[in-house]
Structure 1
Amino acid sequence: MKKAGILNRHLAGALAELGHGDGVLVCDAGMPVPDGPRVVDLAFRAGVPSFAEVVEGLLAELVVEGATAATEVRDANPAAAALLSRHFPDLAYVPHDDLKHLSHRSRLVVRTGEARPYANVLLRCGVFF
């Protein structure tokens, strides 16, 4: 049994399958989940787990070379915007509808219980060397 890191077996296994350039959408409970990508749904109740908790946990285990979020997050969800800009100084912004379209190319979708708007980010995996 693992003693640290991500304990959810479905999420830990999905992360182990990712490679350089693969996309991971971390999304709030309201984001439409596209057909195609593997989905690990962590949503339990409204707000649980939070977007911040999931992003922090994923960043402890993934190499991320880039990230994209919806432009709307800056005005509609300052807490999520601050979290994203802190972790991703070169964060790319696109309109929310474009982010939904981009999510179709994701390899993995991780759905949180976040109940605040536009708490979504598309991560692009990097390599550790």
Structure 2
Amino acid sequence: MKKSGILNRHLAGALAELGHGDGVLVCDVGMPLPAGPRVVDLAFRAGVPRFAEVLDGLLTELVVEGATAAHEVRDANPEAARLLAALPGLGFVPHTELKELSAGARLIVRTGEARPYANVLLRCGVFF
């Protein structure tokens, strides 16, 4: 049994399958989920788990070389915008475009976050 890191077996297994350039969408409970990508749904109740908690856990496990978020997050959800600002290579697109881009993700991690625009598409890097 693992004693640290991400303990959810579905999420830990999905992360182990990722490679350089793969996309991981971390999203709030309201984000429409496209058909195709593998989904690990962590949502339990509205607000649980929070976007910040899940993103923090993922960032300890993944090498991220770039990220894309909806530009609407800056006005509608300043807390999420502050978290996202620290991501390498962060770019912003309209929310409608982020929804379209999410179809190309390899993995979607759905949180219980119930505040708007708490969504980010991470692009996996390589550790060497």
Identify the TM-score tier after normalising by the shorter chain: over 0.9
| Number of residue pairs aligned between Structure 1 and Structure 2 | 128
Opposite residue 76 of structure 2, the aligned amino acid is A
Q: Cα gap change, 1:30/1:58 in structure 2, threshold over 3 Å: closer, same or farther?
A: same
Opposite residue 98 of structure 1, the aligned amino acid is E
TM-score by length of 2: 0.99
Q: Matches of 1:32 and 1:9 in 2, distance apart?
A: 24
What runs of 5+ residues in structure 2 fail to find an aligned partner?
none
Q: Matches of 1:12 and 1:40 in 2, distance apart?
A: 10
Opposite residue 59 of structure 1, the aligned amino acid is L
Alpha-carbon RMSD across the aligned residues, in angstroms, is: 0.6
Q: Matches of 1:88 and 1:43 in 2, distance apart?
A: 23
Which residue is 2:54 aligned to?
54
Opposite residue 125 of structure 2, the aligned amino acid is G
Q: Matches of 1:3 and 1:47 in 2, distance apart?
A: 26
Q: Matches of 1:2 and 1:89 in 2, distance apart?
A: 29
Within the alignment, does 1:18 sit opposite 2:18 as a pair? Answer: yes
Which residue is 1:92 aligned to?
91
Deviation at 1:91, TM superposition (A): 1.0
TM-score by length of 1: 0.98
Within the alignment, does 1:35 sit opposite 2:16 as a pair? Answer: no
CA contact (8 A) 2:67 2:88 kept: no
Which residue is 2:106 aligned to?
107
Q: Secondary structure at the match of 1:12?
A: helix
Q: Matches of 2:89 and 2:98 in 1, distance apart?
A: 16
1:16-63, CA deviations, whole angstroms, 9 ceiling, x for partnerless residues?
000000000000000000000000000000000000000000000000
1:73-96, CA deviations, whole angstroms, 9 ceiling, x for partnerless residues?
0000000000100x2153100000
What runs of 5+ residues in structure 1 fail to find an aligned partner?
none
Q: What percent of counterpart residues are identical? A: 81
Runs of 4+ in 1 over 6 A off after TM superposition: none
